[in-house]
Each structure stands twice: as C-alpha cells, then as structure tokens.
Structure 1
C-alpha cells in the first residue's frame, strides 16, 4: 500500500512495511529514547511489558514526509484482539496530523482483517497520547493482558470499528 498526499510544501507518502524495516525500527528507537525515561522512576531499568515482536505484528505503517521517515504505528495480533502499538511521530514532523492519520490507517487495516473493535495501551506519563486517543473517539477500558493492572502505569482504550461513513 502506498498513498501519497501533499500538504503545503510537503509530500506525505504512506507505506506498509515489515517490522524489521530499518526506518520504522529507527523511529521506535527514538520513541524509546524519548518516552522511556518518563517511566524510570516507576519501573527502573526493567523492560516494559507487552512489547511486540515480528511474530505477532500484522501491519506496520510508515509515513514519509518529503521522503524522510517521519512516523510509524503497528497493528499487533494478541490472542483475542488486535492492538495498536508503537505509534510515534518524530519531533520534526509533529503538528502535521500524522498520528491521527496513522490511527486511521491502522483502523482500516483492522477492518480489512475482519475486526469490529481495536484496542491499545499507553502509559500514564504520556498525556499527549492519552489526549489524542480520547479526541479520536477511543474509550477507556480495563487494563488487559499482557499488561499488569497493578503497576499503575497502563492506560487502555478500545474503539468500535463501525464502517466509515459513506459520503
């Protein structure tokens, strides 16, 4: 899948890539470097639970802005649900609507796989992410596996995947 749209003086291209794609991997590393330190006082050096692997990833979306890797998001298959993971927009590319667009791409990918709902988990020290999900119509739900409800970190969401309105 490749989709190209133009914003004022910027060309945005969307690609579905593999989990191993080095551009998506570099964005995930940048996410870890930015977000990880927020949780050190709570979690210490331990690895966060529920990290995706190449074995459970269904789709990885990559946004290229003027040919440069700008944002990514992943659709992962859990035992009983599809989950959005590792959504990140590089700092130089924020305020272009990429996070919202990645969510839309992942929601459509989930619909194409027959899903009627989609889930995600974020951390309580990511208020911008929480605000985005709330704005985009995601509802708060109980913490689900593989996350630990007793750690006080996880904030989980669900979204009904009704077909997009025709217009």
Structure 2
C-alpha cells in the first residue's frame, strides 16, 4: 500500500452551500484504486445519497421490530460535527458521521457502498472519525448499532471497541440497540 503526505488540508468547493476539507494526499488501495478521505457537512449530496442507500438496505431488517416503537431521531445538520466521505477514484464510496450529543461524541451512519466493500474502507472511515473526535478534545467516543447488523458489530469488535450499556437517546428496553465505547 502506497500513501502520500496526508498531513495538510485544503478547502475544496463541492458545488453546494457546504464545503469540504480534503486531505492533500491520497492512499492507493490494494487493488490500485485511489482513496481520498474528505471532511464535509451533513447536507453534502454525496453523503446524503450514501445514507439513503444505507436506509434502503438496513430498514427492512428492523421493520418488524420497529412496528411498536419508532427509531430514535437521526442526526441533523445542527448536531453533526463532521461527515467523513471516502472517495474512491473520485466517486463516493463510504461515509461516516461524528455527532454531538449533550454529554459525548458519537459515531453515526457508517456505511460502505456495496460496490466498494471488502476494501478496508469501514475501518479507514472509522479511524478518521476517531481522529476527528481526538482533534475536538474527546477522550472517548461512543456508537450505537442494531442487533440485526452483525457485520457492523464484527467491525467494532475487530477494531477494539468495547461493548457498553445502552445510552440516551436509545431505549435500553427495545432489545435492538447494541452500544460501544472506545477510549481515544
């Protein structure tokens, strides 16, 4: 794996009201494709499209379980610190969000486009979110996933996240939430 200098950042227009900060360097993936991680806003249309694909894939897994109780409110532009967008050969391939809760920072909406899975993007986006949290002074980071997402649970366990009690705004009695914590 080859990488170039990724220490510097630059602001790049996205064609919308939001802007992104992209690393000055990129990384070559094992298969030769070029990976660039960009920091952007919640409303970036590329991230919006990836989150919509996530909803389409994941929502059916929980439809029967959520019949009695609605899911917690998703993040909004007001509570999002940053969105990491993974671009492979310039195309949106993965996204993850760092959300601000009243008492902590939380990883949300980590999703890899099916055409880009098995390339290590999930762990790279997760690591970028951890670095963002550290840069904001966080000593720890939290996340919530669902019990019908074994691939997500396996990722978090593999990357040394620890299981923790279900925290607000999630319902500890719904039987769905699986929460994790990591010291940074």
- Between structures 1 and 2, the one with greater helix share: 1
Query: What secondary structure does 2:173 align onto?
Result: helix
Match of 2:22 in 1: 2
Q: Unpaired runs of 5+ in structure 1?
A: 162-167
Matches of 1:5 and 1:46, distance apart in 2: 43
Match of 1:52 in 2: 75
How far the C-alpha of 1:46 sits from its partner, in A, is 5.9
Query: What secondary structure does 1:115 align onto?
Result: coil
How far the C-alpha of 1:50 sits from its partner, in A, is 3.9
Query: What secondary structure does 1:100 align onto?
Result: helix
- Scaled by the length of structure 2, the TM-score of the pair is 0.85
Matches of 2:35 and 2:165, distance apart in 1: 35
Identify which of 83, 86, 92 aligns with 2:109: 86
Match of 1:62 in 2: 85
Q: Unpaired runs of 5+ in structure 2?
A: 1-20
Listed as ranges, the matches of 1:14-163 within 5 Å are: 14-44=37-67, 47-161=70-184
The verdict on how the C-alpha distance between 1:45 and 1:72 changes in structure 2, with shifts beyond 3 A counting, is farther
Match of 2:16 in 1: none
Matches of 1:57 and 1:122, distance apart in 2: 17
- Scaled by the length of structure 1, the TM-score of the pair is 0.93
Question: CA deviation digits over 1:112-136, x for unaligned, max 9?
Answer: 0000000000000000000000000
How far the C-alpha of 1:9 sits from its partner, in A, is 2.3
Structure with greater Cα Rg: 2
Query: What secondary structure does 2:166 align onto?
Result: coil
Question: CA deviation digits over 1:103-162, x for unaligned, max 9?
Answer: 10000000000000000000000000000000000000000000000100000000000x
Question: CA deviation digits over 1:33-64, x for unaligned, max 9?
Answer: 00000000110386421410000000100001
- How many residues end up aligned between the 2 structures? 161
Identify which of 16, 31, 34 aligns with 1:11: 34
